[in-house]
A and B are shown apart, each in its own frame.
Chain A
């Protein structure tokens, strides 16, 4: 082994070469810190809580570097060959870390595991670099010069990285391109060493192929980075867009800031993680406390699983059928780690059966009866959705109710869209239901309205509630029933398929709010 190492003979022009090697130290040090910064930033983007993310990422990264340094002693033989190999690996793993994490964020259930694995792997590879380089240079310089120069360049590289990352790279290139660009630099170092040293000749051909393939992959990634993440949306949404997807039915966008995660469908806010509990507790518990023994529940819309999360707090419920048009929504809220933690894995519960179908056609085909139905459709902002608030729809829904069945309809804001809210109430009343309108304050939305529809007067406000609710209790329900004069009942048209009265008043009333 020792003899092999001694085969390494520095080429002529030692001083310039030794400078070039130190420049390599500088480059790989910069790359190393950049990968760490990319991982930390990306984790805060996607998961929020930046202090926690940066702290844990730095910890895992440095610890992994330690593992790398420790492992370096097991690498023997042709050290230059090992070093080039590791440079290529760092370039690929580090370079692709950001695009890979963005793409996997949607699909994997345990995003954190993937994140820390990638960070750990990059750390180990980066940790190998400096010890190996020092061993390569150990015969060229005295120990004190070697240590002094290598670490000087290492730390200068780190300083440079920490300055250009926030000031130049993120604004100019974005996360994905930064990561891919530094991957290319690592590969560049590998290429430089491969051609600068004559003893690499024996393996040059094989490595050249690998180098070319790596450069191609990283370059292609760099060119198509826009496709991986649409920055255009950053302009329309005030917060960072962490996920966006166009399904055949809608555009789903998730944004995050330091405080909350928000879901937008076609640009309309659906919930904010900061206060969605108010909306969903007010949607589910007033109806459930009146029917605490409900066994079969139907949820129409509500593909985010939040209403189902509230329903699962009632042990008597045996079966929940969720009907949501868009498989893109329900699968996102079944798979994504962040979102699954928001809905408490509700859509993965064995009690829940998900049907991706149009609610109107599905309800006309269904034959089951339900004790409670939660109607959580988007606001009636277009004619397709307006149909789901029509007399015809409620007539069909009535056929699906158990004899003592009851349902609740999310009914837009009685403050902003007063006519629309009472139009929904009056439409339900026309079909023959006893109605109980109520409202709740959800900071992200403002005053929000709901209408309970019953076949009879069997109604109570003091029914049993599950423990651990943050907003709804018996007193809250009583308060929700009172409408102040500025939201009080107004006469309205009845929403039918052949007049779509609701869509028209909804448009008028929300127009000043720029919806």
Chain B
């Protein structure tokens, strides 16, 4: 989109003029502050109600609430994120209709949350799906059902919808004052660094092809189907940082790129990511298509909210929102579950034959504390806090290089960049929504989380705009709205030893053949495919036990 320089200067003039007037009015004290005025920007903090979740910290108080309702169901699913919705869809397709899903929030979808305004829909969390490996048949079938796969060619390769395959131009990186194509640093990168980068990708290609002694792929999705071969699994015992040092990958450009990748996919750093997980990110994408390549992704203006809505639409069993489940107890016929209606503060008591707990483990431990007190001490599950902001803009001033892409990353900055939410929208609209993602990796997750909960909207706004101004000088004047979502527990971190350790395996085990567990954190990495897989796995187990 061409930005009219005339318009920019006029807007800048107006902004500067109003900023100048403000300075005069409020006196010299403000002179030391930033000269950018943000008073024209609307918006505020939005997001999942972490207050509701925090009620679980005081369960005795919940037990005192009056009971308003009693229900019975064959299967109760607690949690309306992707894993819970996947379990519900599976059961529905297998003819099990007496299913009830509880969601503590006002909306289902979990990490696939999204918003919408007059310009575009926009994600607040997960926002794309790489085209899957054809061996992931269940996922391929789902994509066919939702119209993302429109057919198969003569070689039986799926044909993906042109509307959902990420349009070109896809990715750019702002480095050395230039927007280059692709995210791997190239612009102004010395030859020796380029050599290391090349070597790293050669290594990744080997891992992509590699198979263990058991004949299974070294790295695949869902990761449960990866080889058990110790040769690969031992990579989980060391950090990605140690692995890179060991292999002599010292290039700061390569290290930046891999740090970016870990932060982007896991919300963790090279030091806090297992080497197995770090390699899995690159070596597990084996999608094939008639009209796309292995690195292609599917995306939508609302991000994975599209997939979550489709999952939900594929079943008709009831969903109760604003209902916070807790206090699971075994009963004569199965399981008794209490739930607090967060809107009315009343209790609903449910009797279910089987329960699927599709919540993250920091919630799950509260739900099953009577049955498995030892779960409350589980320490391997670490979650990365994130902040996600959606900015509505009427123009994007920028320097030289590629114009706005789907994914836009700035070298060596605090965020992992922003995506253009309108990217798949075919209309030529000068107004856009950009979604800014920032994992809070500078401090220990607990410290960063507490700080994030107390950071004000204005403070976030200043941080975000300061960063964007570096690559987009003058952008502040074009921003009309900024909505900010803080994810206290944004995603599971695959820290060293976690993926192939004991704790994860134990957490998957059902209780007494009546309580089953489903969540992407049980895979150790927070991606749609794993949530989808874990949901179906738990549903299969529950169905078998019915």
Contact = CB atoms under 8 A, between A and B. Distances in A.
B174 to A, nearest CB: 18
Nearest to B426: A360
Interface stretch (A100-108, A202-210, A242-250, A271-279): A242-250
Contact of B427 (A266, A361, A497): A361
Given A498-B166, A500-B168, A500-B169, A248 B430 contact: yes
A390 B429 CA distance: 18
Interface string B159-184: 00011011111100000000000000
A497 B430 contact: no
B512 interface: no
B61 interface: no
Interface stretch (B1-9, B367-375, B450-458, B527-535): B1-9
Nearest to B427: A358
Interface stretch (A47-55, A87-95, A381-389): A381-389
Contact of A325 (B1, B163, B428): B428
A385 B428 CA distance: 8
Given A498-B165, A500-B167, A383 B4 contact: no
Contacts of B291: 496, 498
B296 A498 contact: yes
A345 interface: no
A390 B403 contact: no
Nearest to A362: B427
Contacts of B170: 498
A246 B1 CA distance: 13
Nearest to B291: A496
Interface centre among B2, B6, B163 (most CB of A within 10 A): B2
A251 interface: yes
A391 B426 contact: no
Contacts of A387: 167, 426
A499 interface: yes
A246 B6 contact: yes
Contacts of A249: 428, 430
A474 interface: no
Contacts of B427: 358, 360-361
B151 to A, nearest CB: 13
A383 B403 contact: yes
A383 B1 CA distance: 8
Given A358-B426, A383-B168, A391 B162 contact: yes
Contact of A498 (B1, B7, B167): B167
A444 interface: no
B543 interface: no
A385 to B, nearest CB: 8
B363 interface: no
B143 interface: no
Contacts of B162: 390-392, 395, 496-498
Interface centre among B1, B162, B170, B428 (most CB of A within 10 A): B428
B121 interface: no
B240 to A, nearest CB: 30
B315 interface: no
A230 B7 CA distance: 13
Nearest to A496: B162
Nearest to A382: B403
B23 interface: no
Nearest to B429: A358
B210 interface: no
B238 interface: no
Interface in B386-441: 403, 426-430
Nearest to A326: B428
Contact of B168 (A385, A391, A395, A499): A499
A266 B428 CA distance: 15
A339 B77 CA distance: 67
B179 to A, nearest CB: 13
Interface in A371-386: 382-385
A392 B428 contact: no
A246 B162 CA distance: 33
A436 B153 CA distance: 28
B434 to A, nearest CB: 16
Contacts of B292: 498
B163 to A, nearest CB: 7
A246 B4 contact: yes
B365 to A, nearest CB: 43
B4 A251 contact: yes
A460 B86 CA distance: 57
Interface string A246-283: 10111100000000000000100000000000000000
Contacts of A390: 162
Interface string A385-411: 101001110010000000000000000
B289 to A, nearest CB: 10
B7 A246 contact: yes
Contacts of A395: 162
A169 to B, nearest CB: 26
B153 to A, nearest CB: 13
A383 B403 CA distance: 9
Contacts of B165: 497-498
Contacts of B426: 358, 360-361, 387
Contacts of A358: 426-429
A211 to B, nearest CB: 32
Interface string B1-24: 110101100000000000000000
Contacts of A360: 426-428
Q: Which 10 A-B pairs have the closest CB atoms?
A: A500-B168, A360-B426, A392-B162, A358-B427, A384-B428, A497-B167, A498-B165, A361-B427, A246-B4, A497-B162
Given A360-B428, A361-B426, A498-B168, 10 more contacts: A246-B7, A358-B427, A360-B427, A384-B1, A390-B162, A391-B162, A497-B167, A498-B165, A498-B166, A499-B168
19 contacts: A246-B7, A249-B428, A250-B2, A251-B4, A325-B428, A358-B429, A360-B426, A360-B428, A361-B427, A382-B403, A383-B169, A384-B428, A385-B428, A391-B162, A395-B162, A497-B162, A497-B163, A497-B167, A498-B167
